Protein backbone atom coordinates (compact mmCIF):
# COMPACT_ATOMS: atom_id res chain seq x y z
CA UNK A 1 0.00 0.00 0.00
CA UNK A 2 2.90 2.34 0.87
CA UNK A 3 4.61 2.35 -2.53
CA UNK A 4 1.47 2.91 -4.64
CA UNK A 5 0.50 5.78 -2.33
CA UNK A 6 3.96 7.32 -2.62
CA UNK A 7 3.77 6.91 -6.38
CA UNK A 8 0.42 8.68 -6.51
CA UNK A 9 1.69 11.50 -4.32
CA UNK A 10 4.74 11.88 -6.53
CA UNK A 11 2.53 12.09 -9.63
CA UNK A 12 0.38 14.77 -7.99
CA UNK A 13 3.50 16.72 -7.02
CA UNK A 14 4.94 16.53 -10.53
CA UNK A 15 1.61 17.56 -12.02
CA UNK A 16 1.47 20.56 -9.69
CA UNK A 17 5.01 21.60 -10.65
CA UNK A 18 4.26 21.17 -14.35
CA UNK A 19 1.30 23.55 -14.01
CA UNK A 20 3.34 26.31 -12.37
CA UNK A 21 4.04 28.36 -15.48
CA UNK A 22 4.70 31.65 -13.70
CA UNK A 23 8.03 33.46 -14.09
CA UNK A 24 10.10 33.60 -10.91
CA UNK A 25 11.39 37.15 -10.73
CA UNK A 26 10.74 40.47 -9.00
CA UNK A 27 7.11 41.43 -8.45
CA UNK A 28 6.48 45.09 -9.24
CA UNK A 29 4.81 47.14 -6.55
CA UNK A 30 1.64 48.62 -8.07
CA UNK A 31 -0.24 51.64 -6.76
CA UNK A 32 -2.13 54.76 -7.72
CA UNK A 33 -0.63 57.04 -10.34
CA UNK A 34 1.90 59.51 -8.93
CA UNK A 35 1.32 63.21 -9.55
CA UNK A 36 4.58 65.12 -9.86
CA UNK A 37 4.30 68.72 -8.71
CA UNK A 38 7.91 69.80 -8.85
CA UNK A 39 10.01 68.61 -11.74
CA UNK A 40 13.78 68.84 -11.67
CA UNK A 41 15.29 70.56 -14.69
CA UNK A 42 17.87 68.19 -16.21
CA UNK A 43 21.45 69.05 -16.96
CA UNK A 44 21.82 66.10 -19.35
CA UNK A 45 19.47 64.22 -21.67
CA UNK A 46 19.97 60.66 -22.91
CA UNK A 47 18.00 59.54 -25.97
CA UNK A 48 17.03 55.87 -26.11
CA UNK A 49 18.61 54.02 -29.01
CA UNK A 50 15.56 52.06 -30.17
CA UNK A 51 17.69 49.82 -32.40
CA UNK A 52 19.61 48.53 -29.36
CA UNK A 53 16.80 48.59 -26.79
CA UNK A 54 13.89 46.22 -26.32
CA UNK A 55 10.86 45.34 -24.24
CA UNK A 56 10.08 41.65 -23.96
CA UNK A 57 6.96 40.05 -22.52
CA UNK A 58 6.02 36.58 -21.33
CA UNK A 59 2.43 35.56 -20.73
CA UNK A 60 1.52 32.34 -18.97
CA UNK A 61 -1.52 30.14 -19.20
CA UNK A 62 -2.25 27.04 -17.14
CA UNK A 63 -0.61 24.76 -19.69
CA UNK A 64 2.36 26.80 -20.90
CA UNK A 65 3.77 30.18 -21.86
CA UNK A 66 4.10 32.49 -24.84
CA UNK A 67 6.59 35.28 -25.36
CA UNK A 68 7.21 38.20 -27.64
CA UNK A 69 8.24 41.83 -28.11
CA UNK A 70 6.85 45.35 -28.13
CA UNK A 71 8.86 48.01 -29.96
CA UNK A 72 10.09 51.09 -28.11
CA UNK A 73 8.95 54.02 -30.24
CA UNK A 74 10.85 56.81 -28.52
CA UNK A 75 12.32 57.65 -25.15
CA UNK A 76 14.45 60.05 -23.18
CA UNK A 77 16.09 59.80 -19.77
CA UNK A 78 17.07 62.88 -17.78
CA UNK A 79 19.97 63.43 -15.41
CA UNK A 80 21.00 66.26 -13.13
CA UNK A 81 24.57 66.42 -11.90
CA UNK A 82 25.14 62.74 -12.67
CA UNK A 83 21.92 61.46 -11.07
CA UNK A 84 18.98 60.03 -13.00
CA UNK A 85 15.93 62.19 -12.25
CA UNK A 86 13.25 61.38 -14.82
CA UNK A 87 12.35 60.14 -18.24
CA UNK A 88 9.65 59.04 -20.61
CA UNK A 89 9.44 55.85 -22.69
CA UNK A 90 6.84 55.48 -25.44
CA UNK A 91 5.83 52.00 -26.61
CA UNK A 92 4.33 51.29 -30.03
CA UNK A 93 1.48 48.93 -29.14
CA UNK A 94 0.71 48.33 -32.81
CA UNK A 95 3.95 46.29 -32.86
CA UNK A 96 2.99 44.01 -29.94
CA UNK A 97 3.72 40.56 -31.29
CA UNK A 98 4.44 36.95 -30.45
CA UNK A 99 7.90 35.61 -31.30
CA UNK A 100 7.51 32.23 -29.66
CA UNK A 101 9.91 29.67 -31.13
CA UNK A 102 7.88 26.79 -29.66
CA UNK A 103 5.01 27.42 -32.10
CA UNK A 104 4.87 27.91 -35.87
CA UNK A 105 4.56 31.20 -37.72
CA UNK A 106 0.82 30.79 -38.29
CA UNK A 107 0.21 30.32 -34.56
CA UNK A 108 2.43 33.31 -33.76
CA UNK A 109 0.43 35.47 -36.17
CA UNK A 110 -2.85 34.30 -34.62
CA UNK A 111 -1.55 35.19 -31.17
CA UNK A 112 -0.25 38.54 -32.42
CA UNK A 113 -3.65 39.43 -33.88
CA UNK A 114 -5.30 38.50 -30.60
CA UNK A 115 -2.88 40.65 -28.58
CA UNK A 116 -3.72 43.68 -30.71
CA UNK A 117 -7.48 43.04 -30.51
CA UNK A 118 -10.00 44.49 -28.05
CA UNK A 119 -9.47 41.49 -25.76
CA UNK A 120 -6.03 42.80 -24.88
CA UNK A 121 -4.27 45.99 -26.01
CA UNK A 122 -6.86 47.23 -28.52
CA UNK A 123 -3.95 48.83 -30.34
CA UNK A 124 -6.08 50.43 -33.03
CA UNK A 125 -7.74 52.65 -30.40
CA UNK A 126 -4.73 52.85 -28.08
CA UNK A 127 -1.62 52.75 -30.30
CA UNK A 128 0.76 54.04 -27.62
CA UNK A 129 1.60 53.04 -24.07
CA UNK A 130 3.94 55.09 -21.90
CA UNK A 131 6.19 54.77 -18.88
CA UNK A 132 7.01 58.04 -17.11
CA UNK A 133 9.83 57.76 -14.61
CA UNK A 134 8.83 59.60 -11.42
CA UNK A 135 11.46 58.47 -8.92
CA UNK A 136 14.67 56.51 -8.52
CA UNK A 137 16.56 55.56 -5.38
CA UNK A 138 19.58 53.39 -4.55
CA UNK A 139 18.55 49.77 -4.20
CA UNK A 140 18.33 48.62 -0.59
CA UNK A 141 19.14 44.91 -0.51
CA UNK A 142 18.71 44.78 3.27
CA UNK A 143 15.09 45.88 2.94
CA UNK A 144 14.41 42.87 0.75
CA UNK A 145 16.19 40.56 3.16
CA UNK A 146 14.20 41.95 6.11
CA UNK A 147 10.85 41.87 4.32
CA UNK A 148 10.23 38.26 5.30
CA UNK A 149 9.52 37.35 1.67
CA UNK A 150 11.87 34.82 0.12
CA UNK A 151 13.42 36.27 -3.06
CA UNK A 152 12.62 34.45 -6.29
CA UNK A 153 15.70 33.59 -8.33
CA UNK A 154 15.69 32.52 -11.95
CA UNK A 155 17.44 33.29 -15.20
CA UNK A 156 14.99 36.19 -15.67
CA UNK A 157 15.74 38.09 -12.47
CA UNK A 158 18.23 40.94 -12.91
CA UNK A 159 21.30 40.23 -10.84
CA UNK A 160 22.86 42.90 -8.62
CA UNK A 161 20.28 45.69 -9.08
CA UNK A 162 21.61 49.15 -8.33
CA UNK A 163 18.39 51.16 -8.07
CA UNK A 164 14.66 50.95 -7.42
CA UNK A 165 12.80 52.67 -10.23
CA UNK A 166 9.29 54.07 -9.85
CA UNK A 167 7.08 55.43 -12.60
CA UNK A 168 3.62 55.75 -14.09
CA UNK A 169 2.74 53.04 -16.60
CA UNK A 170 -0.17 53.89 -18.90
CA UNK A 171 -1.87 51.18 -20.97
CA UNK A 172 -5.26 51.68 -22.65
CA UNK A 173 -5.67 55.01 -20.81
CA UNK A 174 -5.28 53.25 -17.43
CA UNK A 175 -2.40 54.71 -15.42
CA UNK A 176 -0.87 53.00 -12.39
CA UNK A 177 2.45 53.47 -10.66
CA UNK A 178 4.92 50.60 -10.72
CA UNK A 179 8.11 50.18 -8.72
CA UNK A 180 10.80 47.60 -9.45
CA UNK A 181 14.55 46.91 -9.06
CA UNK A 182 16.83 47.76 -11.97
CA UNK A 183 20.50 47.82 -12.78
CA UNK A 184 21.46 51.27 -14.08
CA UNK A 185 24.98 52.04 -15.26
CA UNK A 186 26.60 55.02 -16.92
CA UNK A 187 29.75 54.64 -18.98
CA UNK A 188 31.09 57.51 -21.05
CA UNK A 189 28.16 58.69 -23.17
CA UNK A 190 26.01 55.55 -22.74
CA UNK A 191 23.36 54.93 -20.10
CA UNK A 192 22.30 51.30 -19.74
CA UNK A 193 19.25 50.18 -17.74
CA UNK A 194 18.07 46.61 -17.31
CA UNK A 195 15.05 45.29 -15.38
CA UNK A 196 12.81 42.26 -15.25
CA UNK A 197 9.60 42.13 -13.25
CA UNK A 198 6.02 40.85 -13.17
CA UNK A 199 2.89 43.00 -13.21
CA UNK A 200 -0.75 42.08 -12.67
CA UNK A 201 -2.36 43.00 -16.00
CA UNK A 202 -5.84 43.25 -14.45
CA UNK A 203 -4.75 46.48 -12.72
CA UNK A 204 -4.83 48.05 -16.19
CA UNK A 205 -8.22 46.59 -17.12
CA UNK A 206 -6.71 43.68 -19.08
CA UNK A 207 -8.96 41.01 -17.60
CA UNK A 208 -9.43 38.60 -20.51
CA UNK A 209 -9.60 35.02 -19.14
CA UNK A 210 -7.94 36.02 -15.86
CA UNK A 211 -10.60 34.26 -13.77
CA UNK A 212 -9.25 31.05 -12.19
CA UNK A 213 -12.70 29.47 -12.45
CA UNK A 214 -11.98 28.95 -16.17
CA UNK A 215 -9.67 26.07 -15.26
CA UNK A 216 -7.15 25.19 -17.95
CA UNK A 217 -8.57 28.01 -20.11
CA UNK A 218 -7.27 30.56 -17.62
CA UNK A 219 -4.59 33.01 -18.73
CA UNK A 220 -2.64 34.06 -15.68
CA UNK A 221 -2.95 37.72 -14.68
CA UNK A 222 0.81 37.97 -14.11
CA UNK A 223 2.74 39.21 -17.13
CA UNK A 224 6.52 39.29 -17.18
CA UNK A 225 8.20 42.38 -18.64
CA UNK A 226 11.87 42.64 -19.49
CA UNK A 227 13.47 46.02 -20.19
CA UNK A 228 16.88 46.41 -21.77
CA UNK A 229 17.59 50.08 -22.45
CA UNK A 230 20.56 51.72 -24.13
CA UNK A 231 20.48 55.50 -24.21
CA UNK A 232 22.97 57.91 -25.79
CA UNK A 233 23.93 61.29 -24.38
CA UNK A 234 22.50 64.13 -26.46
CA UNK A 235 24.96 66.94 -26.82
CA UNK A 236 23.63 70.46 -26.26
pLDDT tens column, 18-35: 456 788 999 999 999 999
Residue 43's region, left for phi above 0, alpha for psi from -120 to 50, else beta, is: alpha
DSSP designation for 155: S
The C-alpha atoms of residue 204 and residue 208 are separated, in whole angstroms, by: 11
Cβ of 170: how many Cβ atoms within 10 Å? Answer: 19
The C-alpha atoms of residue 39 and residue 206 are separated, in whole angstroms, by: 31
**What mean pLDDT comes out for the span 62-78?**
96
The C-alpha atoms of residue 7 and residue 19 are separated, in whole angstroms, by: 18
Among the residue ranges 33-42, 47-56, 192-201, the one predicted with the least confidence is 33-42
Q: Which residues contact 10 (CB under 8 A, 6 or more apart)?
A: none
Residue 61 has, within 13 A of its CA and on its CB side, a CA count of 14
- If we measure between CA atoms, which residue out of 63, 70, 83 comes closest to residue 162? 83
- pLDDT for res 63: 85
pLDDT over 70 for what percent of the chain? 87
- If we measure between CA atoms, which residue out of 40, 84, 58, 93 comes closest to residue 231? 84
The C-alpha atoms of residue 215 and residue 151 are separated, in whole angstroms, by: 28
The residue length of the chain stands at: 236
- Say whether pLDDT at 12 is over 50: no
DSSP H or E run through 19: helix 2-19
**What mean pLDDT comes out for the span 64-69?**
96
**Rounded to whole angstroms, what are the CA distances from 230 to 28, 55, 88?**
22, 12, 14
**What mean pLDDT comes out for the span 148-172?**
85
Per-residue pLDDT tens digits for 217-231: 899 999 999 999 999
pTM: 0.88
Confidence of residue 140 (pLDDT cuts 50, 70, 90): confident
Answer whether 226's CB lies under 8 Å from 28's CB: no
CATH code of 22-234, in short, is 2.40.128.110
Mean pLDDT of the chain: 89
**Rounded to whole angstroms, what are the CA distances from 193 to 25, 39, 77, 78, 162?**
17, 21, 10, 13, 10
Amino acid sequence: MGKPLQHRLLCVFLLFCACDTTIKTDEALIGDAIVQKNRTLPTDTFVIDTSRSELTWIGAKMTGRHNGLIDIQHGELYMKDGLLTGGLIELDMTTARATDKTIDSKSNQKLTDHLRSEDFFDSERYPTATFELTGIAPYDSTAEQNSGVSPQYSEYKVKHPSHRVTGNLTIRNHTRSVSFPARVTLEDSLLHAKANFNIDRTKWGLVYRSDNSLGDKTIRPEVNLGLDIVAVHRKP
